[in-house]
Structure 1
Amino acid sequence: MNNYNLDSFNSQALDNRVSQVMKRVYVKMFLALLVTAGAAWICSCIPNLVYFLAANRWVYWGLLIVELLMVFGISGAVNKISSPVATLLFYAFAILNGVTFSLIFYAYSTVSIFKTFIITAGVFGAMSVYGYFTSRDLTKIGNFLFMALIGLIIASVVNIFWANSTLEWIVSIAGVLIFIGLTAWDTQQIKRMAEYNGGFSLPRLATIGALTLYLDFINLFLYLLRFFGASRD
């Protein structure tokens, strides 16, 4: 009886930990999306800034490289810096991402951007729920998706110089499918890290988990925008 009570207590404690982690993950991710959307909207209201980014391609790409370095930096240093600093860097990244996102309002209508966001939220939510509750081990799928993501990046870089419409179409479809799958896989991975501690404290795990799902959401949104985005012209 005592062993049963102890097991029941441990199981409840584990469920509470996982629940706390996932709540913090989704809250931080949602706030980061709001920060990005707000920064993008504010910057889009400054025509000179938008025109500057559009006209100076290397500046724009430079900002994207800085964003990439920030992602690697936060992921690599999350256990070496305090949780508040990691969270601050995450939101700083979200702001910078919003600056580069301002060009979206320059290229697409506000209505189509909003519609695409709603579609993205629905798809992301469904796949994240699936990843959280499924009893299926998604590890093999995750490994395949990671390799597919590398191929997607290579194809995208090649098409920057080749500018082939057929390849662009293939990349767009592949991007949607890959990030749909990654959303489920990453959610399951975060849940497992919460269950087995994963080498992170609860606040740090919430930050790295929020960053991971934030990136899934953003990339899924960008690829869906290629299909549902309507030009401002």
Structure 2
Amino acid sequence: MLHRSNEFEWPASGNANGGYRGLGAYMSAVYLHMAGGVIISAAFALLVAYSRSLAGALFTAGGLTTVGWIVTLAPLGLVILLGAGIDRLPASTARAIFILYAALVGLSLGSVLLTYSSGSVGYTFVSAAAGFAVLALMGTSTRRDLSGLSAFFTIALVGLIVTMLLNLFMRSGTLDLLTSGVGILLFAGLTAFDAQRLKRQYEEGAADGRNGAAVLGALTLYLDFLNLFLSLLRFTGRERW
């Protein structure tokens, strides 16, 4: 599972119309940043898959190399940096951090392309993208308030992470399949929840184009999408023989 913080702190003040001309333009900026991050991650994952020297620097038959561990753990620090400093960082700096984050995650995802068949990865990616688009649209268009689900999603996410960590030692195929199924449902729900939350934060004036809030929103949805994709792939993907 990729690093995810469900409760980023947004700037306490701001003018919703200060950086973007309306909600539509702001949400478009969020989704464009997110799509850019996904493309960057995909490009770096393909680079690892087609470069034996790079793959060998990151992975071995026994697991991650030292460089691989650095590449895997570094994004967590970038998430913390971006989330904690979003009200002080210039938008250009926030974008640079996001690009670096997406590139590092892409390097880590190279192992996915080495493990699963290309057809399985491609089919799952398209399915995840289509599902994400529908769920995000539902989240921004529904009149039902989803904010009451925040505590549930937080508890479920923590429980999922703990279970996955335990399974690293247990190595249970059944438990892995179960956590993948739960992950699909959880990140599907989080996609709709976060899409609505970003919309409301803009409407309430807590998101402003001048402070990189669109980048932080993009990071949130980027993580929802990638975790949804990875959960689907572990649940239905076919490994290379």
Q: TM-score, normalised by structure 1?
A: 0.89
1:1-233 matched pairs, under 5 angstroms: 16-55=21-60, 56-57=63-64, 59=66, 60-198=68-206, 200-203=207-210, 204-233=212-241
**AA partner of residue 53 (structure 2):** N
Deviation at 1:49, TM superposition (A): 2.0
For residues 35-84 of structure 1, the C-alpha deviation after alignment (integer angstroms, 9 at most, x for no partner) is 11111111211112213322152533432221111111111111111100
Offset at 1:167?
1.5
Determine which structure has more spread, i.e. the larger CA radius of gyration: 1
CA distance in 2, matches of 1:57, 1:149: 25
Equivalent pairs counted in the alignment come to: 220
C-alpha RMSD of matched pairs (Å): 1.8
Q: Which is bigger in relative contact order (C-alpha 8 A, separation at least 6)? A: 2
Q: Which moved more, 1:101-110 or 1:178-187?
A: 101-110
C-alpha displacement of 1:16: 4.9
When structure 1 is superposed on structure 2, of 29-38 and 61-70 the one drifting more is 61-70
Q: SS of 2:59's equivalent? A: helix
SS class of match (1:99): helix
Assess if the C-alpha contact under 8 Å between 1:21 and 1:205 holds in 2: no
Instruction: Normalising by structure 2, report the TM-score.
Output: 0.86
For the 8 Å contact 1:194–1:205, the answer to whether it is kept is no
Q: From the two aligned structures, give the one with the greater helix fraction.
A: 1
Q: Which amino acid aligns with 2:95?
A: T
Percent sequence identity is: 32
Q: Which runs of 5+ in 1 are unaligned?
A: 1-11
Find the counterpart in structure 2 of residue 9 from structure 1: none
